[in-house]
Structure 1
Amino acid sequence: MEIKETPLQGVVIIEPKVFGDHRGWFMETYSEVKFKEAGINLVFVQDNHSFSATKGTLRGLHYQLSPKAQSKLVRCTKGAIYDVAVDIRKGSPTYGQWFGIELSAENKKQLLVPKGFAHGFMTLTEEAEVQYKVDELYAPECDRGIMWNDPVIGIKWPMNIQPVLSEKDKDAPILQEADNNFVYGDK
């Protein structure tokens, strides 16, 4: 398992080692020991699995407020997505900046999105499935979002289309107006 830094501190790409032969392949998607060796000390408490039927579906940008904030370990197990993390920690040197990467069933990459970051993805294929581990249970009272096309953040989504959105995501505020209690340096 190879762990690669991104321009956003704490957001990392995880590339599992894939062992294949004439029968197919095997990979380790998570190892507490290897994560701890890399300085990632998370205890995952819930696994989530989403299915999007239509290419161009956009889910996000989502996060949960503290004290129910979630770190997420995201992977795409069918099809492909463009996965995005946005730094929303007030006072951070990268506040409002984003990082995006293609995750797919084919490339088997994963993205770790820590607390203090909003997360979202756009499906690049029909019938995309996304699975992710979280280190805090879902808390609807802390569930928040930011507008997927906030012009100040300026995410360059890979498809220049009007995405398929939920009502919740259509009505999300811009970052400047979002309910947000993350402060850079807080644990």
Structure 2
Amino acid sequence: MKATELSIPGVWEFVPQQFPDDRGNFLVWYDAEAFVDALGFEMTVAQTNHSVSHQGVIRGVHWADVPVGQAKYVYCPRGALLDVVVDLRVGSPTFGQHEIVRLDTTEHRAIYLSEGLGHAFVSLEDDTVMTYICSARYAPTREHIVNVFDEELALPWPTDLTPILSDRDAKAPSLAEVKAAGRLPSYDECQRFYETLRAGEKPVLKS
């Protein structure tokens, strides 16, 4: 498995080796050893999620308070999607920038995004499936959201698709509003948290 850190620190792309034959295909979409080699620690698996989306569905931009945050390892076992990672860590050298990676059943790429990074995606086909590993369980009181159409973020959503959003995502606040409210994560605090992971400490979600 090939692992590459992208232009935003803390965003990693994993590309598995495939073994096709006359029966079909085989691949390993998550390899703990390859993950440790790339990031220096083993990912905690607290929850695994599975979503199915119609073409044009956009979900995001979501993130959770750090600590403990919620890192995600994202994979698309059916259909195709554009996975979007936004750096929302105040003080980061890439604050406000984004990465977009196509996840599909051709390359079978997977994306890891560290705690404190915002996550969104758009489904490019009907019945697209996203499966993702989460480092922490969903905690509604720690979860935050910013509008996917915020002009400051200027995310390049496909113009040939009719966007479908939940009411919550459609009514999400702007980046400026969330920043003014003090809800964005701190880059320095995120870096300190990443160090605890590399040191082998297990994050604990406190009530």
**Would you call these one fold, judging by a TM-score over 0.5?**
yes
SS of 1:13's partner is strand
CA apart distance, 1:40: 4.3
Unaligned stretches of 5+ residues in structure 2:
194-207
CA distance in 1, matches of 2:102, 2:75: 10
Unaligned stretches of 5+ residues in structure 1:
none
Identify the residue that residue 127 of structure 1 maps to in structure 2.
127
- Residue 146 of structure 2 corresponds to residue 146 of structure 1: yes
> Structure 2 length as normaliser, TM-score?
0.85
SS of 1:95's partner is coil
CA distance in 1, matches of 2:140, 2:33: 31
Is contact 1:68-1:139 (8 Å) kept?
A: no
> Structure 1 length as normaliser, TM-score?
0.94
CA distance in 2, matches of 1:80, 1:101: 11
RMSD between aligned residues:
1.3
Identify the residue that residue 44 of structure 2 maps to in structure 1.
43
Matches within 5 A, 1:48-127: 48-52=49-53, 54-127=54-127
Is contact 2:88-2:184 (8 Å) kept?
A: no
CA distance in 1, matches of 2:10, 2:186: 14
CA distance in 1, matches of 2:154, 2:33: 37
Is contact 1:56-1:159 (8 Å) kept?
A: no
Is contact 1:75-1:111 (8 Å) kept?
A: yes
Higher fraction of strand: 1
Moved over 4 A (4+): none
SS of 1:154's partner is coil
Distance 1:50 1:114, change over 3 A: same
Is contact 1:73-1:133 (8 Å) kept?
A: yes
CA apart distance, 1:180: 2.3
Matched pairs, number: 186
